[in-house]
């Protein structure tokens, strides 16, 4: 699963050729959630509220690139790295 960004202890990644809806994985410690790219909500799993807020803030800034990465990974191409939240 390619890692596409990392910030404040949160790791963002995407699987190759994964199932719909378009989403990414966010891991923080022992927590993991699948986040919808279109709606920026949790599809599955959970994150602490502070970590989730940071993930949503980051994803809203990079929503277009996340959608492009989804297209790349669903065809087994490497995703682009995305700038971390600062």
Tens-binned pLDDT, residue by residue, of the chain (86 aa)? 789 999 999 999 998 877 889 999 999 999 999 999 999 999 999 999 999 999 999 999 999 999 999 999 988 999 999 999 99
Q: Is residue 23 part of a domain?
A: yes
At residue 58, φ and ψ (nearest 5 deg) are -60, -45
Residue 84 located in a structural domain = no
Residue 79, in any domain of the structure: no
Overall number of domains in the chain: 1
pLDDT of the residue at 66: 97
82 within domain boundaries: no
Q: Note whether residue 80 is domain-resident.
A: no
Determine contact, residues 14/65, Cβ cutoff 8 Å.
no
Strand order in the sheet with 42-46: 3-7, 10-13, 23-28, 31-36, 42-46
pTM of model > 0.75: yes
The whole domain housing 51 covers 3-74
């Amino acid at each position: 699963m390619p890692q596409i960004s990392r910030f404040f202890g949160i790791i963002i990644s995407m699987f190759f050729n994964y199932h719909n809806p378009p989403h990414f994985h966010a891991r923080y410690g022992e927590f993991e959630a699948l986040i919808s790219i279109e709606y920026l909500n949790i599809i599955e799993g959970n994150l602490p509220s502070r970590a989730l807020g940071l993930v949503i803030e980051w994803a809203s800034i990079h929503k277009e690139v996340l959608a492009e990465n989804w297209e790349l990974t669903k065809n087994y191409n490497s995703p682009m790295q995305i700038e971390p939240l600062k």
